[in-house]
Amino acid sequence: MSGVVNFRAKDDASVLGPYRDQRFKGTLREQEKLLLTSKTLYVGNLSYYTTEEQTYELFSRAGDIKRIIMGIDRFKKTPCGFCFVEYYLREDAEDAMRCINGTRLDDRIIRTDWDAGFVEGRQYGRGKHGGQVRDEYRKDYDPGRGGWNRVIATRNAGLE
Amino acid sequence: MIHLPHIDHDRRRRAGDEDNDWYYKRRRTVPEKTEAEVHLEFLISRIGEKSGSSMESNLENLAQSLETYLITDIDRIIDIIIECVCYLTEEVTAYSTLVGLLNSKKQKFGSELLHQLLEVLQKKLISADFIHALHIVTFLADLVNCHVVSSSSLVEFFESFMEAACEECIPQVRSDWFVYAVLHSLPWAGPELNDREKEPLDNLLEGVDKYMLERNTSHAKLLQVWSAMEHEQEEYLDSLWTQISKLRDDGWVERHISRYYIAFDGSLAGAVTHNLPLFSPPPHTSVMVYPLPTVVFRFFDYADCPDGGPVLPGAHSVERFLIEEELCSIIENNCYNRKECAAQLVSYRKKTMVPINYMILETIFSQLLRLPHSPLRPLFYGSLMIELCKMKNMPQVIAQAAELFYQRIDTMQLECIDRLIDWFSYHLSNFEYRWSWIDWDDCLDLNDYAPKRYFVKEVIEKCMRFSYHERICDCLPSSFEEITPEKPSISFLVNQEEQSVKKLVAEVERAFHNKTEPKKLTELLRGFNQKDSGLTTLSIFFAVMLNAAQKSFSHNFAALARYHETLKELSDINDESSMALLRTLYNVWKHNRQMMVVLITKMLRMTLVSANAAVFWLLSNVDQELHRLFLASLNFWLWEALFIVIKYACGHANRCKKKFQQMQEKRVRMDRNDGEAYQNFCCNEEENSLGVVLDDDIEEKRKELEELQEMLKNLFLNVLHKLVVFLSEHLVKYETAGRNYDTYWYRYMMGRFKEILLRYWHELFEMKKDIDKELFVTAGIDPRILEVYCQFTALRA
């Protein structure tokens, strides 16, 4: 008889975000199937100075971490504001989605999303200048992410 | 407030959580609901949602709407109502009123509902779903107020529970549940029974009183958050009995329950009541797991709340109990969505009648600090409180709570202090580490093992891990320097006075720099091995490797993975290698606790270190007098590492056990199917990855499991034995010298002893016979140590 009526608050932990990896090798359906069983989270809006150690301390509160892969600038090979966290258990990753997504790390509100699984090459920023794409278009000044975006910074430098 | 505890790993698991294709299965197997069924669910399940009309008006309208369905959909209506009753505790009186109205329209409805309720109750008890069973019993009790259940048959129903409680040769925790279910129902049914069945009710309560007098509550000491407090930490059944007794003395008048049925006295009075069918609880079996006893958490009283606001109900009032019950139900129903949970707690329907922020916080901390385990993962409570901080006035109450915890921490259980440390450091990390640290500078005058100092020091250590050393130092007053962790650093101090050592270090460093193949490096090292003891070569290689990989966790993990074979080759079969690696790890990273903890975890998983060897090494360091007196922070790290090792060992054994059981179950299914039917069945099997299960495979897995369980047993015997020795030696030494044994160190180590028993109660009970025989039957055990162990065994007595 269980499941007749859903009394629990909606569980958003398994709800997939809108993001799909455009370079995923496979169909959209295959990617979505992986996302529904994944134990890996993408973590966004990190400061460039957030370390693997800090990320580990926060995300280990949701369960045992298998590995963390810090996102890095494609050219400079320095952190550029995102990472992947892989858990041993799916339920631990779900608890991280429920409890850590939208809270703070290094005083910044971070965002987690399901990821189909880390593959070599995905740790690099895909922006034109080597960082994340979002930083190419960011219009605000963010001291944790290099200040202005590259175009604005270049223009400002030209004004000096 | 009593929210009966249950095993948390079962609690949070949802059907299909770990099935690879659970999403698609779910879509295929859930039967399509008819439009009428969806409509019925919508009508019935939304009974408590806010609307412009009164609840009484909504109930009357709903009963009229459902009247037409009573002919065709009576079974569906019954199923939906029972489901609602199981989940929505705060709406129990709304549903009982609805049932009363429907019963007055159609007598058959009430009769069939009661049969179905008892059938569901039987199933819930068999499946050990004691929370839902409790809700059903309470609902049955309230139906007496709605002229659905006859009062005489309700008393007989309760008597059958008391008979079940008084059976012989059953655990006390089984009896406790039946008594608890009766007492829990009396706030609803008490007034009516007192009017109509006074003498049978008095007899029933006399039976309860007799049971309570004979009941063993030695477990309570182990479960109390505080060992001494201005607010008594009462055993849960004692507390409820006191509350019910007070309710009886008050003439069964309480000011909490919304009795909607009073408005329908005219309609209900004419209804025909039903006798409850006879009910026999399922018998006790050895595999049945009953809720553990618990202790009622008390933290606030009315003096803590603002003047001019509503008054906090007293600890022994039944109102306090009922409100906390409902808040716990809200948390349970929303534990997957912290925002919704916070919103529902804050908009609790009776929020204007109590200081709601204080009640919410007390309820949350009662769960976070519940022993032996919190019902939900501690992280959830932390993120829930962060969400609650977005509500008006809540941040001030949380700050007040943190201050009160600090003031009362001297007598707090160490396990609870550890949870507080994790919660508070996480909380501060979301609020820029802003705290009035100077208000807590009295801890600086205290012994290293004093709870206040331990708490503050460890909170700062955890805050540093969420951020970095300079940032935390900037937040602290200068007077806190002595308990601020040193800046994390590496110390690479291989003694290179010997020429051969110097050469080895140089060779290994060159090999790393040149990215030499692990195989070649192994051969190189083996050459050195012949000239020197193997452990020395292993230690030096490991130290150089750690130094080369010092930049981050990932560098260390990559190095461990790359040279995994090399380390294995250099290691002996015995435990000496594990201890050499741990000693080296400590020497290199002793100024970075987080790195040590994370690397130990990784090395366990990579089987570079054996759990038993790690336990032995860690405990041998706990033992040393010098460390005890001068390096408290070392002691704190050793325990953090020890808990990680034990958790890993338990997890390993549990995973193997689960796999073994899966193989057995699959084998049983395979034996029941043949040929092609089995092949088709197998294709859809979630355990397809297991392949065909052979007897040899099962036997091999059985042996592996037995070895792991033996390893785990030895591990716990080792830990418990060492703790008993530490404590015994301390007691003998201090009493011989005529000094007071009750030092901060003693309390700390006794706290660790209790912590081991509480954290791993489930595993320890499975090996209880061995522990009793090898450790606690000995005549020489000090009674103060034995007493704690007896409290532990009483948890499931």
Q: Per residue, what are the HEC states of B446-458?
A: CCCCCHHHHHHHH
Is A9 in Cβ contact with B336 (below 8 Å)?
yes
Q: Which of A51, A67, A98 sits opposite B336 (nearest CB)?
A: A98
| Count of other CB atoms within 10 angstroms of residue B268 | 20
Is B41 in Cβ contact with A95 (below 8 Å)?
no
Is A103 in Cβ contact with B386 (below 8 Å)?
yes
Q: Is the pLDDT of residue B523 over 90?
A: no
Is A36 in Cβ contact with B17 (below 8 Å)?
no
Rounded distance, CA B471 to CA B485, Å? 12
Q: Which amino acid is at B92?
A: V
Angle in degrees, CA A5, A7, A9, rounded to 5 = 135
Per-residue b/e over A7-38, b at no fewer than 16 CB within 10 Å? eebebbbbeeeeeeeeeeeeeeeebebbbbbb
Between B97 and B681, name the one with better pLDDT.
Answer: B97
Q: Any idea where the domains of chain A sit in the sequence?
A: 28-117
The whole-number pLDDT of residue B701 equals: 87
Q: Which amino acid is at B591?
A: H
Please provide the size of chain A in residues.
160
Q: Is B594 on the interface with A (CB under 8 A)?
A: yes
Per-residue b/e over B348-383, b at no fewer than 16 CB within 10 Å? bebbeebbbbbbbbbbbbbbbbbbbbbbbbbbbbbb
B343-400 confidence digits (pLDDT tens): 989 888 777 878 999 999 999 999 999 999 899 999 999 999 999 998 878 998 999 9
The whole-number pLDDT of residue A160 equals: 58
Partner residues linked to B235 by β-bridges: B295
**CATH superfamily entry for domain A28-117:** RRM (RNA recognition motif) domain (3.30.70.330)
Closest CA to B234 of B559, B482, B2, B492: B2
Closest CA to B188 of B313, B98, B318, B60: B318
Q: Is the pLDDT of residue B733 over 50?
A: yes
Q: Which amino acid is at B609?
A: V
Answer yes or no: are the C-beta atoms of A7 and B45 closer than 8 Å.
yes
Q: Is B18 on the interface with A (CB under 8 A)?
A: yes
Is B337 in Cβ contact with A95 (below 8 Å)?
no
Between B231 and B506, name the one with better pLDDT.
Answer: B506
B454-499 confidence digits (pLDDT tens): 999 899 999 989 999 988 999 999 999 888 887 899 987 676 667 7
Q: Is the pLDDT of residue B639 over 70?
A: yes
Does B375 sit behind a cis peptide bond, omega within 30 degrees of 0 on the bond before it? no
Helix axes A90-99, B378-388, angle to 10 degrees: 20
Chain B partners within 8 Å of A4 (Cβ): 41, 79-80, 83
CA-based diameter of chain A, in Å?
72
Reported as a pLDDT band with limits 50, 70 and 90, residue B12 is: very low
CA-based diameter of chain B, in Å?
103
Reported as a pLDDT band with limits 50, 70 and 90, residue B28 is: very low
Nearest CA in chain B to A109: B430
Q: Distance, in angstroms, between A114 CA and closest chain B CA?
A: 15
Is B380 in Cβ contact with A4 (below 8 Å)?
no
Q: Are strands A104-105 and A40-44 parallel, antiparallel or unpaired?
A: unpaired
Nearest CA in chain A to B336: A11
Answer yes or no: are the C-beta atoms of A108 and A143 closer than 8 Å.
no
Range of lowest pLDDT (A62-76, B32-46, B201-215, B730-744): B32-46
Rounded distance, CA B102 to CA A110, Å? 51
Please report how many Cα atoms fall inside a 13 Å half-sphere around the Cα of residue B57, on the Cβ side.
5
| Count of other CB atoms within 10 angstroms of residue B275 | 14
Is A61 in Cβ contact with B382 (below 8 Å)?
yes
Q: Which of B344, B429, B640 to mutate to test the interface with A (most CBs of A within 10 A)?
A: B429
Query: ipTM of this predicted complex?
Result: 0.92
Rounded distance, CA B120 to CA B75, Å? 13
Reported as a pLDDT band with limits 50, 70 and 90, residue B185 is: very high
* Token pair belonging to B763: 């595993």
Q: Is the pLDDT of residue B730 over 80?
A: yes
Is B379 in Cβ contact with A4 (below 8 Å)?
no
Q: Is the pLDDT of residue A121 over 70?
A: yes
Closest CA to A134 of A115, A150, A123: A150
Is B337 in Cβ contact with A9 (below 8 Å)?
yes
Is the CA virtual torsion B84, B86, B88, B93 positive or negative?
positive
Q: Is B592 on the interface with A (CB under 8 A)?
A: no
Is the CA virtual torsion B744, B749, B751, B752 positive or negative?
positive
Q: Which of A53, A91, A95 sits opposite B594 (nearest CB)?
A: A53
Looking at chain B, the number of H-run helices and the number of E-run strands are 38, 0
Q: Please give the average per-residue pLDDT across B507-519, as a whole number.
A: 84
Reported as a pLDDT band with limits 50, 70 and 90, residue B631 is: low
Reported as a pLDDT band with limits 50, 70 and 90, residue A157 is: confident
Rounded distance, CA B286 to CA B170, Å? 9
Closest CA to B361 of B340, B379, B382, B375: B382
Rounded distance, CA B588 to CA B580, Å? 12
Average pLDDT, chain B: 85
Is the CA virtual torsion B109, B186, B358, A12 positive or negative?
negative
Reported as a pLDDT band with limits 50, 70 and 90, residue B530 is: low
Q: B446: burial class by Cβ within 10 Å (0-12, 13-18, 19+)?
A: middle
Nearest CA in chain B to A32: B23
The whole-number pLDDT of residue B35 equals: 74
Q: Please give the average per-residue pLDDT across B156-174, as a whole number.
A: 92
Q: Which amino acid is at B565?
A: E
pLDDT above 90 covers what percent of chain A? Answer: 36
Chain A and chain B share a number of CB contacts under 8 A equal to 122
Please state the separation of Cα B684 from the chain's center in Å.
Answer: 35
Partner residues linked to A87 by β-bridges: A65
Q: 3-class DSSP state for residue A67?
A: strand
Q: Which of B341, B552, B595 sits opposite A9 (nearest CB)?
A: B341
Partner residues linked to A42 by β-bridges: A84, A113
Q: Is the pLDDT of residue B8 over 70?
A: no
Is B378 in Cβ contact with A7 (below 8 Å)?
no
Q: 3-class DSSP state for residue B517?
A: coil
pLDDT above 90 covers what percent of chain B? Answer: 50
Q: In degrees rounded to 5, what are phi and psi of residue B314?
A: -65, 160
Is B553 in Cβ contact with A56 (below 8 Å)?
yes
B575-589 confidence digits (pLDDT tens): 878 889 998 998 899
A10-50 confidence digits (pLDDT tens): 677 777 888 888 778 788 878 888 888 899 999 999 999 89
Is B430 in Cβ contact with A103 (below 8 Å)?
yes
The whole-number pLDDT of residue B20 equals: 36
Nearest CA in chain A to B382: A99
Q: What is the DSSP letter of B690?
A: G
Between B382 and B610, name the one with better pLDDT.
Answer: B382
The whole-number pLDDT of residue B405 equals: 96
Q: Which residues of A lie inside 8 Å of B (Cβ-Cβ)?
A: 1-5, 7-13, 33, 36-37, 51-54, 56-58, 61-62, 64, 67-70, 89-91, 95, 98-100, 103-107
Reported as a pLDDT band with limits 50, 70 and 90, residue B440 is: very high
Cα B748 to Cα B216, B229, B453, B627: the distances in Å are 27, 18, 12, 14
* Token pair belonging to B776: 């606690």
Nearest CA in chain B to A94: B336
Is B20 in Cβ contact with A58 (below 8 Å)?
no
Residues 6+ apart with CB under 8 A from B642: B615, B618, B619, B719
Rounded distance, CA B425 to CA A99, Å? 15
Q: Is the pLDDT of residue B89 over 90?
A: no
Average pLDDT, chain A: 86
Q: In degrees rounded to 5, what are phi and psi of residue A40?
A: -115, 135
Rounded distance, CA B109 to CA B271, Å? 12
Reported as a pLDDT band with limits 50, 70 and 90, residue B531 is: low
